[in-house]
A = this chain, B = another copy of it.
Amino acid sequence: MSSNNIVFKPIGIIHTEFKNKINVPIQPRFSNSKGTVEIFPEFVVGLKDLENFSHIILIYYFHESKSYDLEVRPYLDEKKRGVFATRAPRRPNNIGISIVELEKVVKNILYVNKLDMIDKTPLLDIKPYIKSFDIKTNSKEGWVKGKIKQNHISDNRFS
């Protein structure tokens, strides 16, 4: 049913130090890796006012994910979990989200920290992180509870 297709085009490219899918921090929390987000010139006007936010949500395309499973062994667990109960990078629609720190904006380049995606990742959208909307302190985190240690990097399970 191609009539159901939803078509997006990248608004930019994320440049990181991670050249392949292994040994990448699995979330911004485990990263101190700085890099840049290059916004294509036709979208630069849309960056106005962004610099006053300390954190931004990058929404991007897992461009090296070519297939998916509905049950996966996520990086934080040895058991198989339903893919929608994980942040795994191979998904029915390969969309990733990362909350990163925004250091400065110079023309069409965002200087960011805490990157957790591979180099040349296509960017789909940016949204400001807003405490009143995005903090849910009373949330219960299912199978993840107790699983998070000081550091987690990717292995080859989604390669």
Contact = CB atoms under 8 A, between A and B. Distances in A.
A144 B61 CA distance: 28
Given A49-B81, A92-B43, A139-B55, A86 B6 contact: no
Contacts of A81: 48-49
B47 A139 contact: no
Interface residues of A, number: 65
A129 to B, nearest CB: 5
How many copies of this chain sit in the oligomeric assembly? 2
Contacts of A93: 8-9, 11, 59, 124-125
B140 A128 contact: no
A83 B87 CA distance: 26
B130 A144 contact: yes
Given A6-B122, A87-B127, A45 B59 contact: no
Interface of A: 1, 4-11, 27-29, 43, 45-55, 57, 59, 61, 70-71, 81-87, 91-93, 95, 97, 99, 122, 124-144, 148
